[in-house]
Amino acid sequence: MGEGAEPRAAARVNGFACKNPMLVQANDFFFSGLNIAGNTSNPVGSKVTPVTVAQLPGLNTLGIAMARVDYEPWGVNPPHLHPRASEILTVLEGSLLAGFVTSNPENRLITKVLHKGDAFVFPMGLVHFQRNMGYGKAVAIAALSSQNPGVITIANTVFGSNPSIAVEVLAKAFQVDKNIVDQLQSKF
């Protein structure tokens, strides 16, 4: 898809199908459902509904994606990063604490409480998170600078990989006893 990747039907770009531009239909550029709240009944109390090239093939090569994020009261979109994208997020409903951490050696935490209509930026590849700061639901719309941004949720990656990272590595990395590592790994 994408005019930059034109004209043979069988072509693939970035591993995704690339339709003949003579054959594209409006539906190739269409996604439905961002009005539907995601199911936040999970341990972190948040849910992301992504609109990337996996859900909307017409995004291929275009360098853009979107997502809706739902948060239950005090729900958290846990620390994560996008290996191939920057992000801007705006609040549709509720209030969020949004933050990101700069890279070594400063590891500065930059945070802001966001209300309806506020927007905040998470630079390329940095660890970031949001937390619903209220007793009601919160909703945000995020935009990402890649059609295939990827998501690396820190806790799942570090303590919930398949197979697990060796406990000796994690014990040293987090400077804790192995039984705490075990405890952390048991959650994922």
Q: Least distance (Å) from a second copy to the CB of residue 70?
A: 13
Interaction of residue 41 with a second copy, rule CB under 8 A: no
Sign of CA dihedral 47, 125, 74, 90: negative
Name residue 128's beta-bridge partners. Answer: 80, 100
Considering only 38, 73, 125, 134, the residue that binds a second copy (CB under 8 A) is: 125
Name residue 89's beta-bridge partners. Answer: 120, 142
Interaction of residue 136 with a second copy, rule CB under 8 A: no
CA distance 109 to 105: 12
The reply to whether 77 sits in an annotated binding site is yes
Interaction of residue 5 with a second copy, rule CB under 8 A: yes
Considering only 73, 126, 134, 182, the residue that binds a second copy (CB under 8 A) is: 126
Torsion angle of C-alpha atoms 111, 157, 55, 127, degrees rounded to 10: 20
Considering only 34, 39, 136, 178, the residue that binds a second copy (CB under 8 A) is: 34
Interaction of residue 129 with a second copy, rule CB under 8 A: yes
Cα–Cα nearest to 66, from 149, 148, 142: 142
Q: Least distance (Å) from a second copy to the CB of residue 21?
A: 6
